[in-house]
Amino acid sequence: MSDALLEAGERLTPNTPGANADAIAQGIATDVLARVSTVLPRTGGPYPLHAPEIDGNAWRYVKDCLDTGWVSSVGAWVDRFEDMLADITGARHAIATVNGTAALHAALLTVGVKPGDEVLVPSFTFVATANAVSYCGAIPHFVDCEIEGLGIDPAALDAHLAWIGEVQGDTLINRQTGAVIRAMIPVHCYGHPADMAALCEIANRYHLTVIEDSAESLGSRIDETHTGRFGRIGAFSFNGNKTITTGGGGALITDDDLLARRLRHLTTTARTNDGADLVHDMVGYNYRLPNINAALGCAQLETLDHKLAVKRRLSLHYRDAFADATGVQYLSPPSWGESNNWLCALLFDDAPARDQVLTSLNAAGYQCRPFWAPLHSMKMYADCPRASLAVTGHLSACGLTLPSGAGLTSEIKR
Ligand SMILES: *Cc1c(COP(=O)(O)O)cnc(C)c1O
């Protein structure tokens, strides 16, 4: 049987749990509920997974847009939001966009991803990572993750590329498909930084352009360097469920002046700056963040440090609560980086325990979600090239995310 069939088989027909397995899963669920309730008391619920926290100057700044009529795609708040983002991340340039998916799309186009190219992406990520590749007419090539940081596994990637890849001049060719493998998109899953030192080293060796999907990792760093600054371009999301929100929104960061100019051009309908109004010199995109969203974003960024501190405390409480648990581990940030702790997560030894815990926690008012389904299991991506994806399968079947919002602050014990 091919490993595709094996993996599908494992997902679709888990060992039918006997009465004993049922009892074990039930026991773990009772234990997990008790541990979670030492962090968030049962009387304080229900606890949402990650609700937006509209605080600080949000009302004042948004009202300014309403009062002045500057609600759309031009305005002072957009410029201010970009300046604040550049400041926080340390990047030379920040360009605000309508959402994180658009940011990824613009990034890939700008570094020259072409129809028919392959782009390495983890199968374990939100679907937008692969969709942005598809929007370019390119093909996602799925690679596996490691458990410590939940990012692309550098060792597995290196072995896979040694097996299927062939460097010709300064391009990497997939020997099995004949396509150019142009780029790689590491994702900082649930806020934990991927192992960027190792991944960038591999990217250099194989002539891969690195675009970081930092949608979930505002505030996450490795040795003081903000995520999104290791690759050529980093893409962020400010959707309602992310660490800070603009309602819907995103941004691109880069240190490269030329790329920044191109990104800004492409995301603002490619309008020329030659004084003639309404002249456009290529097929651009209407991807600019509206001023009203940016106003909310400025207020949100002002309280980012507070949000990060609360989330860090919550993560440490969960870690302590699960320190001596069996059958399950709390997924603390990796040794190589600092996480914004966007979503706190548990990983179980087996799927029946995870499924039982999901049911029990949700019934008790703790909103939890299973980890993403693997992208290579979805029908539009089932035929894409891929590496062995054993860890991805395990994560998807055995992981869940816990209530993690900064708004849980007053409810946190201690
Ligand atoms: C949220 C998210 C995106 C997309 O961002 P939107 O603003 O929702 O378009 C992309 N990648 C990852 C990993 C995300 O979590």
- Six token digits for residue 114: 């072409």
Q: Per-residue confidence at 20, pLDDT binned at 50, 70, 90?
A: confident
Determine the atom of ligand 1 nearest the C-alpha atom of 104: 10
Distance 337 CA to ligand 1 centre (A): 21
**pLDDT 10s digits, 91-139:** 999 999 999 999 999 999 999 999 999 999 999 999 999 999 999 999 9
- Six token digits for residue 223: 């040795």
DSSP 8-state class, residue 263: H
**pLDDT 10s digits, 348-390:** 999 999 999 999 999 999 999 999 999 999 999 999 999 999 9
Report DSSP letters for 4-27, one per residue: HHHHHHHHHS-----HHHHHHHHH
Mean pLDDT of 257-286: 90
Test site for ligand 1: of 216, 372, 401, most ligand atoms within 8 A of the Cβ = 216
Number of H helices, E strands in the chain: 13, 15
Ligand 1 first shell, C-beta below 6 A: 99-101, 125-126, 128-129, 187, 213, 215-216, 237, 239, 250
* CB contact set of 414 (below 8 Å; sequence gap of 6+): 317
Per-residue confidence (pLDDT) for residue 273, from 0 to 100 = 72
**pLDDT 10s digits, 291-312:** 999 999 999 999 999 999 999 9
Distance 250 CA to ligand 1 centre (A): 8
In 3-state terms, what secondary structure has residue 399?
strand
**pLDDT 10s digits, 159-174:** 999 999 999 999 999 9
- Show the CA angle centred on residue 202, arms to residues 199 and 208, nearest 5°: 95
pLDDT at residue 330 is higher than 70:
yes
Per-residue confidence (pLDDT) for residue 6, from 0 to 100 = 44
Per-residue confidence (pLDDT) for residue 1, from 0 to 100 = 37
How far apart are alpha carbons 141 and 133 in whole angstroms? 10
pLDDT at residue 186 is higher than 90:
yes
Specify the amino acid at residue 85.
Answer: L
How far apart are alpha carbons 224 and 220 in whole angstroms? 9
How far apart are alpha carbons 294 and 289 in whole angstroms? 7
- Six token digits for residue 184: 């790689």
* CB contact set of 7 (below 8 Å; sequence gap of 6+): 377, 389, 390, 393
Beta-ladder partners of 93: 254
Domains and CATH numbers, the chain: 3-51+304-410 (3.90.1150.10), 58-302 (3.40.640.10)
Test site for ligand 1: of 97, 108, 213, most ligand atoms within 8 A of the Cβ = 213
Distance 306 CA to ligand 1 centre (A): 23
Alpha carbon 108 to chain centroid, angstroms? 16
Answer for the pair 95, 263: CB distance below 8 angstroms, yes or no.
yes
Determine the atom of ligand 1 nearest the C-alpha atom of 187: 13
Beta-ladder partners of 329: 347
**pLDDT 10s digits, 196-241:** 999 999 999 999 999 999 999 999 999 999 999 999 999 999 999 9
Closest CA relative to residue 245, chosen from 288, 287, 294? 294
Distance 59 CA to ligand 1 centre (A): 25
* CB contact set of 58 (below 8 Å; sequence gap of 6+): 296, 299, 300
Per-residue confidence (pLDDT) for residue 13, from 0 to 100 = 47
